[in-house]
Amino acid sequence: MEISLETREFIRAHRDGDVRDLALHAKAGDGVDMAVALEQIDGRQRARTKLPEWAAHDGIIYPPHISMEQCSSQSTALYKADVAKRLMTTAPSPDTDTTLIDLTGGFGVDFSYMARAFSQGVYVERQQHLCAISGHNMTALGLKNVRIVNADSTEHLRGSATDPSATMIFIDPARRDSHGARTYAIADCTPDVIALEPLLLDRARYVMVKLSPMLDWRKAVQDLGGAELVREVHIVSTSNECKELLLVLGRPTGKGAGGESGNVGDRNVGDGDVIDETANRHIRMYCVNDSKIVEYHIDESGEIADDGDNDGDGAEFNGAADDVSEYRYLYEPNASIMKAGCFALIERRYGVRQIGANSHLFVSNRPVAGFPGRAFAVDAVTGMGKRELKAALAGVTHANIATRNFPMNVAALRRKLKLKDGGETYIFATTDAKRRHVLLVTRKMP
């Protein structure tokens, strides 16, 4: 994709301008493609937050708005690159020469970071304009030993042009149907990873699949072969918002890609490098929120279990909290822990007690080091009686309110309490183990 010198100069001069205002009032000189200029200015401004390393490069070309919306952030792309790098170095027989194939290249953000962990990378994308943009950007970013392929991912996978000895295939199936409506089920996405899974595992030692964070991870694991083929589950959040569900698949046995196929259940997989079968007895589970990673494993029954090697304080767990008012600290798990649903394990690992069966809030009488979420000091615990509320909220005019397993939503509760939004006070409204509706009035801890 070529951008004229005049258009580049316009972009440089207005890089910090308001795009809507520029569209209405800016005067383009001769040779300026205004549509392209506005698209690039808008893309770079979005990249400042989402892709700061890319935004720092003047040579980057940005795609249409929809591709900017759908692409990974820099932080999630870096995380996937770290996972790939670890897999390459801990494989039973690490290869000297390694190849990544990204079958759904898109804007190329994931590819640009993951490819650095491999000797060579192959980017595959069916949209020609994205191939042109990505080819330009990979050069601008200084990436070498990469190949841009304009092709349908399924056809490339099945065709003779596919590298038969790929170390890893990355695939991020499109989550929209032919009418543009959002889809979430794996089989409804394009391409259908479930249908392609035997071929994917025949072509590569590992397959990393990026899925919608809306999916139930247990169902996704089941759909993709369970512990027989799924090696790792990663629930990835940034700023406490769940962004991605990643599954790493691997061959259970074999001697090398492209060899004779064998059966795994009702699935055919190619003979690959011999893999330690004990590695498939448990699926590794990683709950990620920014730089905080909590690791578990999924046992034979499909339940999340602890390894005994963790960062908790080893406090003894004595059951659910009978009287919430006796506790001084409240803990709220981060989005990835909430998505994983490993609440009983959190109780055991960190020695905390859940307030109620569906509260997903935890209390303790002492500070808990390393808890994966937010921590609060409890100032008061109150029921919903007028006198109780008046005493507990004396002097409070503003509060941040959250409701969990509570009969009122936040707006209704705020009206009842007559409190404005914001301030230093955090109120958690929930139902305790004895089915009492309670409010915990707290302050956020560092």
How many CB atoms within 10 Å of residue 421? Answer: 10
**How would DSSP label each residue in 90-121?**
HSSS--SS-EEEESS-TTSHHHHHHGGGSSEE
For residue 8, give Cα distances in angstroms to 89, 91, 193, 291, 424: 42, 46, 40, 37, 47
Phi-psi region of 301 (alpha: psi -120 to 50; beta: other; left: phi over 0): alpha
Going residue by residue through the chain, which has 446 residues, state the pLDDT in tens, using 9 for 90 and above. 688 888 988 989 899 999 999 998 888 778 899 999 999 999 999 999 999 999 998 889 999 888 898 899 999 999 999 999 999 888 766 667 899 999 999 999 999 999 999 999 999 999 999 999 999 999 999 999 999 999 999 999 988 555 667 899 999 998 766 566 677 789 888 899 999 999 999 999 999 999 999 999 999 999 999 999 999 999 999 999 999 999 999 987 554 444 434 444 444 444 333 344 444 468 999 999 998 999 989 887 777 887 754 444 444 444 556 788 999 999 999 999 999 999 989 999 999 999 998 899 999 999 999 999 999 999 999 999 999 999 999 999 999 999 999 999 999 999 999 999 999 999 999 999 899 999 999 999 98
- Residues 58-69, buried b or exposed e (16+ Cβ, 10 A)? eebbbbeeebbe
Domain ranges of the chain: 5-62, 74-305, 324-444
CA–CA gap between residue 354 and residue 10 (Å, rounded): 58
CA–CA gap between residue 218 and residue 223 (Å, rounded): 9
Q: Which residues contact 203 (CB under 8 A, 6 or more apart)?
A: 101, 157, 162, 163, 164, 166, 169, 257, 258, 270
Whether residue 399 contacts residue 425, with contact meaning beta carbons closer than 8 Å, is answered with yes
Residue 227 is classified by DSSP as G
Closest CA to 33 of 18, 131, 41: 41
Assign 3-class secondary structure to 142-204.
Answer: CCCCEEEEECCHHHHHHCCCCCCCEEEEEECCECECCCCCECCCHHHCECCHHHHHHHHHHHE
CA–CA gap between residue 151 and residue 131 (Å, rounded): 9
CA–CA gap between residue 114 and residue 104 (Å, rounded): 13
**How would DSSP label each residue in 413-436?**
HHHHHT-EEEEEEEEEEEE-TTS-
CA–CA gap between residue 378 and residue 327 (Å, rounded): 7
Mapped onto helix, strand or coil, the DSSP state of residue 328 is coil
**Is domain 74-305 in CATH 3.40.50.150, yes or no?**
yes
CA–CA gap between residue 419 and residue 389 (Å, rounded): 12
